[in-house]
Structure 1
Amino acid sequence: MADAKRPASATLAGPYGHPFHPILVTVPIGAWVSSLVFDIGSRIVAGPGFLTRGSVWLIAIGIIGALLAAATGALDLLAVPRGTRAFRTGLTHMGLNLAVTGAFAAGFFWRQGELDGRVGIGPLVLSAAALAALAVSGYLGGKLAYRFGVRVAAEDVQAEGYRPRPAHRTRPAH
């Protein structure tokens, strides 16, 4: 278990107790949620091309961010002992994330001929389904960190944040 807390490569995966993967996942999550908002908006407003084009850009940004997050996540997974529940959970988490990234990549190419009008119902449903799968994967990622302690500092290290500060001595008034 202690091995899963230490990075396979601190330079690439982040130092002990501060992994890069949770920081990087915010990019695809934010970009893809925003792209779905733009998709929905494109079906409501007049002249929706700016939202449709913006959504495609957000999808591309999310794909790039997901690939960076996947690289650091894979390094974290390398530290988890094989044959454990944590490792199986990590594989499922990784597989779902790769499927979600593939779905958004497919959606990116599906949209290329329709950048000036409303987003079609097919690409919109694909994005919504991919985000639902991403939510399940996020739950599993939380389980890896908060239940199994993958890449989380050991409790004795965490305890330093809960120790009271030494009493501050005041100087006597002159």
Structure 2
Amino acid sequence: MTQTPNIPPVIESDEREYRDSGVPSTVAIAGHPLHPLIVTFPIAFLTGALGTDVGYWLTGDLFWARASFWLIGAGVAAGLVAAATGMLDFLKIDRVREHQAGWVHMTGNIAVLTLSLVNFVLRWGNQGGAVLPTGLVISLFVATLIGITGWYGAELVYRHKIAVIGYGSNHRP
């Protein structure tokens, strides 16, 4: 005689959340949300700037300082586009605002863009002189904050099922 494993009963709210097909993004092409695609660019540029700042710190080669300047500028530009798509979902999807993760993700990314813009302006015309220590510290803080806000963005998608293609839509899962 085989015994069934001791599986705890499913809590009704857990099952309801499990069966929830999610909320699609309001900014999508053919049902595919744009925000998760676009955010990869500012993430790469702004965390890459931390690497080039460290490169300048270790070598003193002005190449790394110039690379940081351009990475930060590109990160701010791409971040503004990502922010626009994310803000549209934030404003149009009630579920985003209902969760603390939505507010942390949004306010943290506003801080990322603000600090990055400050970092860019400080380097304007003085790429090498602005890296140590101020630029490096700002880049480190920005990269850390991006990791935190990215975590909360993933919470919105994977736990709260926001900006996903739902089972109830015309798209197959």
TM-score category of the 2 structures, normalised to the smaller one: 0.7 to 0.9
Between Structure 1 and Structure 2, how many residues are aligned? 155
Q: What's the CA shift for 1:135?
A: 0.8
> In 2, distance between residues paired with 1:119 and 1:93?
27
Q: What's the CA shift for 1:51?
A: 1.0
Q: How does 1:1-174 map to 2 (within 5 A)?
A: 5-8=23-26, 13-15=27-29, 17-46=31-60, 48-81=61-94, 85-86=98-99, 88-116=100-128, 119-155=131-167, 160-161=172-173
One-letter amino acid of the counterpart of residue 131, structure 1: A
Cα–Cα, structure 1 residues 84 and 73, in superposed 2: closer, same or farther, change >3 Å? closer
8 Å CA contact retained: 1:5, 1:17: no
One-letter amino acid of the counterpart of residue 92, structure 2: A
Q: Deviations over 1:108-152 (max 9, x none)?
A: 111234324682112101110111111110000000000000011
Q: Deviations over 1:20-43 (max 9, x none)?
A: 001110111111111111100011
Q: Deviations over 1:37-89 (max 9, x none)?
A: 1100011225x111101110000000000000000001112332269633x42
**Unaligned ranges ≥5, structure 2:** 1-16
> In 2, distance between residues paired with 1:71 and 1:118?
29
Cα–Cα, structure 1 residues 110 and 118, in superposed 2: closer, same or farther, change >3 Å? closer
**Unaligned ranges ≥5, structure 1:** 162-174
Q: Deviations over 1:133-173 (max 9, x none)?
A: 11110000000000000011224569945xxxxxxxxxxxx
One-letter amino acid of the counterpart of residue 115, structure 1: Q
TM-score, normalised with respect to structure 1: 0.77
One-letter amino acid of the counterpart of residue 31, structure 1: F
8 Å CA contact retained: 1:5, 1:79: no
TM-score, normalised with respect to structure 2: 0.78
> In 2, distance between residues paired with 1:24 and 1:96?
17
Q: What's the CA shift for 1:19?
A: 0.4
CA RMSD of aligned residues (A): 2.8
